Structure 1
Amino acid sequence: MRVDGPGVVTSDDGRRFVALALPDGWRVVDAVCPHNQGPLEQGWVREGRTLVCPWHWYRFDLDTGACSTSPQHVLGVHPVREIDGVAYADVGEPPRPMSWSERLRAHARE
C-alpha cells in the first residue's frame, strides 16, 4: 500500500490505517485502537515513539505495537519501505473471516 502522506490511508481491500511521519521515518498502524476501537488518527504522538488513543488514553509503542497501559492489547504496526523515493507499507493479507464459534469464544475471553 502506498503512503502518500500523514493521516488515514486505505488499502485496496478497504482496510484503514494511520500513517505517521516521525523524525526517523514513517510508521503505519491500524486505524482503530485494539482496546475499544477508538479513532487513532485523532490520537497524539508523545515522547517521539508513543501513540496515545484519544478515547481512553491507551499508549502504544510505535515500533512494536505494545501497549504500556494494558499489555493484553497490541496495536498492529506495519513495516514501511521506501522504493524510488516513495514509501510503501506492507499491511499483509486481510484476516480471514471468523466463524460464529470463533467470534463467541473471542467475545467470551474479553
Structure 2
Amino acid sequence: MEWVRIFPNEQEARRRIRNDKPQLVAIYGRRICLALHDDQFFAVQDACSHNGESLSKGHINYLGEIVCPWHGYRFELHTGRPCDSSSPDLATYPVKVDETGFYIGIP
C-alpha cells in the first residue's frame, strides 16, 4: 500500500471537500471519488459499477450512500457495496490523516 498525500493537513481537506458533496481526485491515473459524510472521510472508485458514470457527479444521501447521477444506483460509502445487490462492489480506498497530511492509500 502506498499512501499518497492529497492535502497538507486535515483543515485543508475540510475546506476543499464539502459535507455530502463528492469530489473527484485522480491518483496515478485512477479516478477516485472523495467524500465527507457525518464528519468522516471516504474514498471509493469514481466509476459506478453499474454503467461507469462518474459518482463524483452524484450526491450522498442522508443514509451515507453515494448515489449515481445517471440511474440512481446507491452504494454504501463504508464498504462500497451496492444497496440492492444488483451491481458489483465499488473499490474502496483507506483514508489517513496525521500531522504530516491527508492521505489516500493506493494498493
Structure 2 length-normalised TM: 0.75
* TM-score normalised according to structure 1 size: 0.73
Q: Where do residues 75-90 of structure 1 align in structure 2 (5 Å cutoff)?
A: 75-84=90-99, 86-90=101-105
Aligned length: 91
* Displaced runs of 4 or more, over 2 A: 1-6, 69-72
2:36, 2:101 → 1: CA distance? 13
Q: CA shift at 1:62, angstroms?
A: 0.4
**Which residue is equivalent to 2:6?**
3
Structure 2 residue 46 is the aligned partner of structure 1 residue 31: yes
RMSD: 1.6
Higher Cα Rg, which structure:
1
Query: For residues 87 and 36 of structure 2, what CA distance do their matches in structure 1 show?
Result: 26
Instruction: Give yes or no for contact 1:61–1:67 (8 Å, CA) kept in 2.
Output: yes
| Counterpart-to-counterpart distance in 2, 1:84 and 1:64 | 26
Specify which structure has the bigger relative contact order, considering alpha-carbon pairs within 8 angstroms and separated by 6 or more residues: 2
Evaluate the alpha carbon distance shift between residue 72 and residue 8 of structure 1 in structure 2; reply closer, same or farther with a 3 A threshold: closer
Structure 2 residue corresponding to 1:53, chosen from 68, 85, 93: 68
- Distance in 2 (CA, whole Å) between partners of 1:61 and 1:75 is 9
SS at match of 1:81: strand
Unaligned runs of at least 5 residues, structure 1: 93-110
* Amino acid of the structure 2 residue aligned with 1:3: I
Partner of 1:91: 106
Judging by fraction of residues, say which structure has more strand. 2
